[in-house]
Chain A
Amino acid sequence: MMTATAIFAPFLAPYHPIDDANLLYSEEPPSHQFFFGTDSQGRDIFSRVIYGARISLSVGLLSQLMNSIIGIILGLTAGYFGKWWDDLVMGLTNIMLSIPAVIFALAIMALLGPGLINVFIALGLTNWSFTCRITRSQVLFTRDLNYVKAAQALGYGKIRIMFTQILPNIVGPILVIATLGIAGAILMEAALSFLGLGTQPPTPSWGGMLAKAREQIFTTPWISIFPGLAIFTTVLGLNLLGDGLRDFLDPHTAKKV
């Protein structure tokens, strides 16, 4: 199953570009063809689902990018400098791990108020602890290896060593975490929008559409199907890609499964 996943991951993942390409067509006024039916305001759900992809994917990608950058910088510096900075960063990471991510995101949304930009910020700040931990442990492992020592002997600066010598060697696991993180962020954006705290109507977002569908489940049940299906396939694709990448980058697990 895992190898099948690894093989199919490249085929499963690139459907985002296809979604993005379709955006050109859906710029036309909605409800000229009702592939997925229309919602209560006569808007074509097909178009809205495709538009929603813009929101979901950009939220997923950008907030995870933010998470990765925070995690990498904190992890690299904590592992490399050590001492009190390491203690501080690790303390912060442990606290972050002891707060469920959704709850922390909700707290940030409570501060900033509902809205798309605020979702970016909330999700971008909540999920960096895993990246940070892995980066730090990898730094601790590579710090005393010979090539890093050689770089030190050559008189490279600390920051240069961190980014040119250590970072390239730990890109693999970080990439895997990031892929799965994008999937998580998309799910979380959908959940926040569903709760009414994320993307505000009339901007189409998958989670927001489902919130609307909940009110109309007795009259127009088809509304609830397609936005959810869109979230599901996107997240599934990313999860499979993440699993595939992990197996590809880590021959140890690939061999076993």
Chain B
Amino acid sequence: MFAYTVRRMLQFIPTIFAITLIIFLLLNVLPGNAALMAGGKNRLPPEVMEKLKERWGLNKPIHVRYMLYMKDLAQGDLGTSFFAREKVSQMLASRLWPTLKLACTALLIACILGIPLGFYSALRQGTWVDTITMVGAVSGVSMPQFWLGLLLMFLFSVQFKLLPTFGYGEGAAINLILPSLTLGVGYMALLARTTRAAVVEILTQDYVRTARAKGLTEIWVNRKHVFRNTLVLLLTSAGLQFGSLIGETVVVETLFSWPGIGSLLVNSIFYRDTPVTQGCILVIIIGFLIINLVVDLLYGVIDPRIKYQ
């Protein structure tokens, strides 16, 4: 298990290498964009622009810039923001915690509600709970997150004046409720759907019939045989879909003016602040890769049949 983990970590390196190359090329094939943007509507005089390009290192050919970027990256230096005059790594560090807090709370909400609902509706197929859950699940998957966020904002903040509309509120828990709920609902719907499909599939398996034939009570069958096997199927699709949760974080953070990595990313794209954009994307992708690794390792914990070679 330990050797496997180490080997998987080593596999990160070529992947991250390829991703940095792609992202770097994507963001840097058009030179001098930031210098053009710096003046806003009034174009800067050419000599000022040349100066800016020189300071930001935009006057060198692209392969030289990539080499420099990779050299800095190897030392943990993500570059300096064009506009904020701050190290990108510092900007990211201060934004990481709000994003993590938001994503984890959303995940928690989704798991606590989604999995039991899916499980229950699979066991009670055709009842009104099942119908409502499944209609809700399809709706939740089809709903744009930011719209749901707006509606919740309207209901709880404008109508009832219970919760704050936007902002981080210095980390107050009350500010976390609406964003994490907004973010969690889509994933919850997905989990409920996946859980139900997995349980329905497992209930037809031979070992469930055997367990029933042995005379085990229904509760025992469900607990010992169905639930554990469901988790394996669930983990696969939950892990795969985690990327969409990360993507939605960007939108939800912008909607609620949440000072996380997602809103930083969107702002940096507006200002063509390439080092910040690169840094944000890199951090998000690394996060995604780590989650995939954790999912892979969890298989072994849940399903003892899976051995890591």
Which A residues contact B (CB, under 8 angstroms)?
1, 5, 91, 94-95, 98-103, 106-111, 183, 187, 190-191, 194-197, 207, 210, 213-214, 217-218, 221, 224-225, 227-228, 231-232, 235-236, 238-240, 243, 256-257
Which B residues contact A (CB, under 8 angstroms)?
15, 18-19, 22-23, 26-27, 29-30, 130-131, 134-135, 138-139, 141-148, 150-151, 153-154, 157-158, 165, 200-201, 204, 243-244, 246-248, 250-251, 254-255, 265-266, 268-270, 272, 274, 277, 281, 284-285, 288-289, 292
Residues in B neighbouring A217, C-beta threshold 8 A: 150, 153-154, 157-158, 165
Interface pairs A-B: 9 shortest CB-CB = A102-B247, A228-B147, A100-B243, A236-B142, A235-B142, A110-B269, A224-B150, A100-B247, A1-B134
Known contacts A1-B131, A109-B269, A256-B201; decide if A95 and B288 are in contact (CB<8 Å): no
Whole-angstrom distance between the Cβ of A27 and the nearest chain B Cβ: 27
Residues in B neighbouring A108, C-beta threshold 8 A: 26
From B143, B158, B200, B246, A103 is in contact (CB under 8 Å) with: B246
Known contacts A95-B22, A217-B150; decide if A101 and B243 are in contact (CB<8 Å): yes
Q: Which residue of B lies closest to A191 (CB)?
A: B251
In the bound assembly, the distance between CA atoms of A236 and B142 in angstroms comes to 5
Residues in A neighbouring B254, C-beta threshold 8 A: 194-195
Instruction: Please name 10 further chain A to chain B contacts, defined as beta carbons within 8 Å, in addition to the given A100-B284, A221-B158, sorted by A numbering.
Output: A91-B18, A95-B18, A98-B15, A100-B246, A102-B244, A103-B265, A210-B144, A218-B158, A228-B151, A232-B144
Residues in A neighbouring B134, C-beta threshold 8 A: 1
In the bound assembly, the distance between CA atoms of A194 and B23 in angstroms comes to 23
Whole-angstrom distance between the Cβ of B123 and the nearest chain A Cβ: 14
Asked whether B19 lies within 8 Å of A111 as measured between CB atoms, the reply is no
Asked whether B158 lies within 8 Å of A228 as measured between CB atoms, the reply is no
Asked whether A100 lies within 8 Å of B288 as measured between CB atoms, the reply is yes
Known contacts A98-B19, A100-B288; decide if A111 and B147 are in contact (CB<8 Å): no
In the bound assembly, the distance between CA atoms of A143 and B157 in angstroms comes to 59
Asked whether A191 lies within 8 Å of B130 as measured between CB atoms, the reply is no
Residues in A neighbouring B146, C-beta threshold 8 A: 190-191, 194, 207, 210, 214
Between-chain CB contacts (< 8 Å), 21 pairs? A1-B135, A95-B19, A98-B19, A100-B285, A101-B243, A101-B247, A103-B285, A107-B26, A107-B281, A110-B27, A111-B26, A183-B142, A217-B150, A217-B154, A217-B158, A224-B147, A224-B150, A228-B144, A235-B143, A256-B201, A257-B200
Residues in B neighbouring A196, C-beta threshold 8 A: 266, 270
In the bound assembly, the distance between CA atoms of A240 and B142 in angstroms comes to 10
Whole-angstrom distance between the Cβ of A128 and the nearest chain B Cβ: 15
Whole-angstrom distance between the Cβ of B253 and the nearest chain A Cβ: 10
Known contacts A103-B246, A106-B269, A107-B281; decide if A231 and B201 are in contact (CB<8 Å): no
Whole-angstrom distance between the Cβ of B273 and the nearest chain A Cβ: 9
Residues in B neighbouring A111, C-beta threshold 8 A: 26-27, 29-30
From B23, B270, B292, A98 is in contact (CB under 8 Å) with: B292
In the bound assembly, the distance between CA atoms of A218 and B159 in angstroms comes to 9
Residues in B neighbouring A243, C-beta threshold 8 A: 138
In the bound assembly, the distance between CA atoms of A210 and B154 in angstroms comes to 13
Asked whether A187 lies within 8 Å of B139 as measured between CB atoms, the reply is no
In the bound assembly, the distance between CA atoms of A110 and B289 in angstroms comes to 22
Whole-angstrom distance between the Cβ of B99 and the nearest chain A Cβ: 13
Known contacts A109-B269, A217-B158; decide if A98 and B285 are in contact (CB<8 Å): yes
Residues in A neighbouring B26, C-beta threshold 8 A: 107-108, 110-111
